[in-house]
Amino acid sequence: NAGVTQTPKFRILKIGQSMTLQCTQDMNHNYMYWYRQDPGMGLKLIYYSVGAGITDKGEVPNGYNVSRSTTEDFPLRLELAAPSQTSVYFCASRQWVGTEQPQHFGDGTRLSIL
Amino acid sequence: AQSVAQPEDQVNVAEGNPLTVKCTYSVSGNPYLFWYVQYPNRGLQFLLKYITGDNLVKGSYGFEAEFNKSQTSFHLKKPSALVSDSALYFCAGQNSGYSTLTFGKGTMLLVSP
C-alpha cells in the first residue's frame, strides 16, 4: 500500500547542476501535482497534470519542467539549479471522479542548492 | 482568483482544552474546502473536507470544522486537545470548477501537557 512515493528524500546540488525529482503513485489517480514548501509560505503549485500526456503550469513554474508519459509517474526536472530553488518538494495525486476528492501526498524531497 | 488565509502563525493550547485553528477563504462559486495536517518530515495528511450539505463537518482523529458562508470561514476545531495533535495545519480551498487547490500558509498548533 505504497501510495505516493518520492525519490530521493534528500539531495544537495551545486548551482547550475540539473536533476530530476521522481514521483510515482500506485492508486491509478489521473491527477498529479508538484508543490514546493518554503517556511511560512504554505504550498505553492509548480505544475500539475490531469492525465498522461497532459501537463499545465501552476503558480511558480519558472525553472522547472515536467512530463507525464504514464499514469503512475510524474517527474519534476530542474535544469539549472539556483539557490532560490532550495525547498521541500511534494508530489500529490488524487482520483479522477469529481473535484472534491482529497489529494494524497508523498513524504517530500528536501533539496538544498549551494 | 482563489485565496485562503490562516491568520495565526501559531496556536498554543493546553492538553484537554478545546482548540480552534482559523481559516478564511475567498473562492468564487461553490467552494470546496479542506484541512490537512503535516507532521515533521512528512507529507500532508487529509483531515476533513466540506463539499456541500451540513455546515459542521467531522473528520479524522476527532477533528471537526464549521463552514460559515456569511463569514467565509472554515475553522478547524477539536473539543479536547492532545499533545499528539501538535503539528502544522493547512487549510485549502478550490472552486468547484477548478482542478487545483490553493493552500493557506499554515498554522503551527502546539499542545502543552
Closest CA to A32 of A68, A69, A84: A68
Give the mean pLDDT of A32-59. 94
Q: How far apart are CA B54 and CA A87, in angstroms?
A: 38
Q: Which residue of A has its CA nearest to B93?
A: A100
Pair B30, B90: CB distance under 8 Å: no
Q: Domain spans of chain A? A: 4-96
In the predicted model, is pLDDT for residue A1 greater than 90? no
Q: Which residue has the higher pLDDT, B52 or B82?
A: B82
Tell me the fold of B3-112: Immunoglobulin-like (2.60.40)
CB A28 within 8 Å of CB A94? no
Secondary structure class of B67 (helix, strand, coil): strand
Cβ within 8 Å, pair B94-A105: no
Confidence category of residue A101, pLDDT binned at 50, 70, 90: confident
Evaluate whether B25 touches B49 at the Cβ level (below 8 Å): no
Q: What is the mean pLDDT of residues B66-82?
A: 96
Domain positions in chain B: 3-112
Cβ <8 Å between B46 and A90: no
- CB-CB contact of A46 with A76 (8 Å): yes
CA atoms of B33 and B69, how far apart (whole Å): 12
Q: What is the pLDDT of residue B94?
A: 87
Which one of A98-102, B36-40, B97-101 scores highest in mean pLDDT? B36-40
pLDDT value at position B54? 87
- In chain A, whose CA is at the least distance from the CA of B1? A59
A108:B42 CB<8 A: yes
| B97, A35, B41, A11: CA torsion to nearest 10 | 160
Q: Tens of pLDDT along B1-28?
A: 789 999 999 999 999 999 999 999 998 7
Give the gap in angstroms from C-alpha B11 to the nearest C-alpha of chain A. Answer: 14
Residue type, B44: L
pLDDT of res. A100: 75
DSSP letter for A1, please.
Answer: -
Taking 80 as the threshold, does the pLDDT of residue B57 lie above it?
Answer: yes
Q: How does residue B47 score in pLDDT terms, banded at 50, 70 and 90?
A: very high
Cell numbers for A34, please give them. 508538484
Q: Report the top-level CATH class of A4-96.
A: mainly beta
DSSP 8-state secondary structure symbol assigned to residue B52: S
What average pLDDT does this structure show over A55-73?
Answer: 96
Q: Which chain B residues are within 8 Å of A103, Cβ to Cβ?
A: 44, 46, 101
* Residue A63 burial (CB count, 10 A): 14
Q: Of residues A39 and A32, which shows the higher confidence score?
A: A32
- Per-residue model confidence (pLDDT) at position B28: 78
The listed range with the strongest mean pLDDT (B17-21, B52-56, B66-70, B95-99) is B17-21
pLDDT surpasses 70 at A99: no
Q: Are A22 and A69 in contact (CB under 8 A)?
A: no
Kindly determine whether residue B45 and residue A4, on different chains, have CB atoms separated by under 8 Å: no
Q: Does the beta carbon of B96 lie under 8 angstroms from any beta carbon of chain A?
A: yes
pLDDT band at A98 (very low <50, low <70, confident <90, very high): low
List chain A residues with CB under 8 Å of B94. 99
The grid cell for B11 is 496556536
| CB-based burial label for B86 (10 Å; 0-12, 13-18, 19+) | middle
pLDDT for B99: 79
Q: Which of B42, B39, B104, B102 is nearest to A110 (CA)?
A: B42
pLDDT of B1 reads 74
Average pLDDT, integer, range A96-108:
83
The arithmetic mean of pLDDT across residues B32-45, rounded, is 94
Instruction: Output the average pLDDT for chain B.
Output: 93
**Interval A95-107 mean pLDDT:** 83
